[in-house]
């Protein structure tokens, strides 16, 4: 019994001694820290608009604990950077302990002051760690970008946005009734969280094949590249007329485009052409009794519908590609749907869908839900569609994989001429803008279905 007690005592002493060693602070000048990276890098950050938080891990590989006498930002109180060391904020912190074979986190943010530069510029600093008379450092680097800033702004009169600098919108932007906002080729528009791009007047988004326009959220870090729900979306109100969106990418919102009510003239509410609508939390394009012409567009990765028209309206969709896989969402709704009612109220519906690809991960990706059937006009011809509906015209191709090149990498070109969409459309030479595909490639006669000709 005495021998057993002695063994227990020895083991306990060894354990306590070992624990103490991990907590005993070494003063050895050869002790060093290790870092998860030698440079904390921020991608482009708009001036005056703070960054996301970057994380640095600091390791103590020594058996004994260490006490870092000082952790500070090299630029001090005048730095663009801010830090937080394991929950403690400040530009300079002292006596930070790390147990043996343990680690801590340092969190860093940056806010960059504007300057006169039209091109991105670098703002550099460093984190300095003083340990036992030695100094180690980790570089800090951020690319700053000046911009035009708008906060709850109302566009009045005829206004043109150029591409000299990005345009950053806080809260909402409103194009007033009777006013026109013209967006020039190459312009980049960044919408802050929860902001709307609202149009009561007229929008002309005039991108080109070689110089397109982008409308997206303000977060430019790679982790946010395809993150939906970063802003609220575009909203064309009743009374808004003669809107055009050409060669424009709209991405990462809750809803991409909302169009309300038939126009008050013979022209469509919206012409959407050669554009991309992607990564929407709820819907790519939603319309309520509206009039829309859409051709040579690509819709993909929408949480519910890619396109939905409700309560009637007039819709012409020609040579569009809808590829709505469930890469991010557990989607239960078809990619494309049209109804002629809301609740008990109906309106006439006129739909022309020709030469489109309507594809996705569900068995039924197209829905027509009609109550006022005698007043509705539906043309559904020469489409490649995933659907269990056997009543479609024989001109349509049903349930044959279109063979996209690399849909998981946002490439919805047809893989090659083995695609069932190749040469299966009808040549629409009477409709302006359809002689070439979305890439500007001449269409064959007969053309491929969708927004791209087969390679």
Cα–chain center distance at 215:
9
What is the structure's pLDDT at 317? Answer: 98
What mean pLDDT is predicted for residues 85-96?
95
- Say which residues have a Cβ less than 8 Å from residue 412's Cβ, sequence separation at least 6: 298, 300, 321, 323, 404, 405, 450, 451, 452
Indicate the pLDDT class of residue 121, thresholds 50, 70 and 90.
Answer: confident
The tens digit of pLDDT for each residue in 284-306 reads 999 999 999 999 999 999 999 99
What mean pLDDT is predicted for residues 307-331?
93
What is the structure's pLDDT at 9? Answer: 45
What mean pLDDT is predicted for residues 135-148?
91
Whether residue 12 is predicted with pLDDT greater than 90 in this model: the reply is no
Indicate the pLDDT class of residue 455, thresholds 50, 70 and 90.
Answer: confident
The tens digit of pLDDT for each residue in 361-419 reads 999 999 999 998 888 999 999 999 999 999 999 999 999 999 999 999 999 999 999 99
The tens digit of pLDDT for each residue in 18-77 reads 455 567 999 999 999 999 999 998 888 888 888 878 999 999 999 999 999 999 999 998
Whether residue 443 is predicted with pLDDT greater than 90 in this model: the reply is yes
What is the structure's pLDDT at 157? Answer: 97
What mean pLDDT is predicted for residues 251-257?
98
On whether the CB atoms of residues 73 and 245 are closer than 8 A, the answer is no
What is the structure's pLDDT at 20? Answer: 55
* Alpha helices (H) in 36-129, listed in sequence order: none
Indicate the pLDDT class of residue 14, thresholds 50, 70 and 90.
Answer: very low
The tens digit of pLDDT for each residue in 179-190 reads 999 999 999 999
| Percentage of the chain exceeding pLDDT 70 | 95
On whether the CB atoms of residues 215 and 195 are closer than 8 A, the answer is no
β-pairing, 88-89 vs 81-85, is antiparallel
Averaged pLDDT of the chain: 92
| The overall pTM is greater than 0.85 | no
Distance between CA atoms of residues 295 and 307, nearest Å: 13
In DSSP notation, 215-246 reads EEES--SGGGTT-S-SB-EEEE-TT--SEEEE
Whether residue 159 is predicted with pLDDT greater than 50 in this model: the reply is yes
The residue with tokens 């479609």 is: 392
Whether residue 6 is predicted with pLDDT greater than 70 in this model: the reply is no
pLDDT higher for 330 or 413? 413
In DSSP notation, 180-214 reads EEEE-TT-EEEEPTT-EEEESSEEEEE--SSS-EE
Longest dimension (CA), the chain: 104
């Amino acid at each position: 019994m005495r021998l057993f007690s002695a063994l227990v005592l020895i083991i306990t002493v060894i354990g306590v001694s070992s624990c103490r060693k991990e907590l005993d602070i070494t003063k050895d000048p050869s002790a060093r820290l290790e870092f998860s990276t030698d440079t904390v890098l921020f991608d482009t950050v708009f001036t005056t608009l703070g960054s996301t938080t970057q994380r640095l891990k600091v390791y103590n590989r020594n058996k004994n604990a260490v006490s870092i006498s000082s952790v500070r930002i090299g630029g001090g109180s005048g730095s663009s950077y801010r830090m937080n060391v394991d929950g403690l904020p400040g530009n300079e912190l002292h006596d930070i302990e790390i147990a043996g074979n343990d680690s801590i986190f340092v969190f860093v943010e940056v806010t960059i002051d504007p300057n006169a530069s039209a091109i991105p510029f670098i703002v550099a600093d460093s984190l300095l760690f003083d340990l036992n008379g030695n100094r180690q450092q980790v570089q800090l680097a951020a690319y700053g970008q000046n911009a035009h800033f708008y906060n709850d702004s109302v566009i009045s009169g005829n206004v043109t946005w150029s591409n000299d600098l990005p345009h950053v919108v806080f809260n909402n932007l409103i194009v007033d009734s009777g006013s026109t906002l013209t967006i020039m080729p190459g312009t980049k528009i960044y919408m802050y969280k929860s902001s709307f791009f609202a149009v009561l007047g007229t929008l002309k988004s005039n991108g080109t094949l070689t110089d397109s326009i982008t409308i997206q959220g303000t977060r430019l870090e790679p982790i946010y590249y395809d993150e939906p729900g970063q802003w609220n979306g575009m909203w064309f109100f009743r009374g808004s007329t003669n809107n055009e969106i050409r060669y424009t990418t709209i991405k990462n919102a809750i809803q991409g485009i909302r169009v309300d009510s038939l126009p008050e003239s013979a022209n469509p509410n919206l012409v959407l052409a050669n554009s991309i609508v992607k990564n929407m939390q709820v819907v790519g394009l939603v319309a309520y009794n509206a009039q829309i012409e859409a051709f040579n567009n690509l819709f993909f990765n929408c949480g519910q519908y890619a396109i939905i028209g409700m309560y009637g309206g007039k819709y012409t969709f020609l040579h569009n590609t809808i590829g709505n896989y469930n890469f991010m969402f557990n989607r239960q709704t078809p990619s494309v749907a049209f109804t002629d009612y809301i609740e008990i109220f109906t309106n006439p519906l006129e739909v022309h869908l020709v030469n489109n690809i309507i594809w996705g991960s569900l068995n039924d990706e197209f829905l027509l839900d009609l109550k006022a059937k005698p007043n509705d006009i539906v043309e559904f011809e020469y489409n490649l569609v995933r659907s269990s509906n056997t009543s479609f015209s024989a001109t349509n191709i049903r349930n044959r994989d279109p063979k996209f090149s690399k849909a998981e990498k946002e490439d919805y070109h047809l893989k090659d001429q083995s695609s069932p969409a190749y040469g299966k459309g009808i040549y629409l030479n009477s409709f302006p803008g359809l002689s070439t595909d979305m890439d500007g490639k001449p269409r064959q006669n007969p053309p491929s279905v969708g927004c791209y000709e087969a390679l």
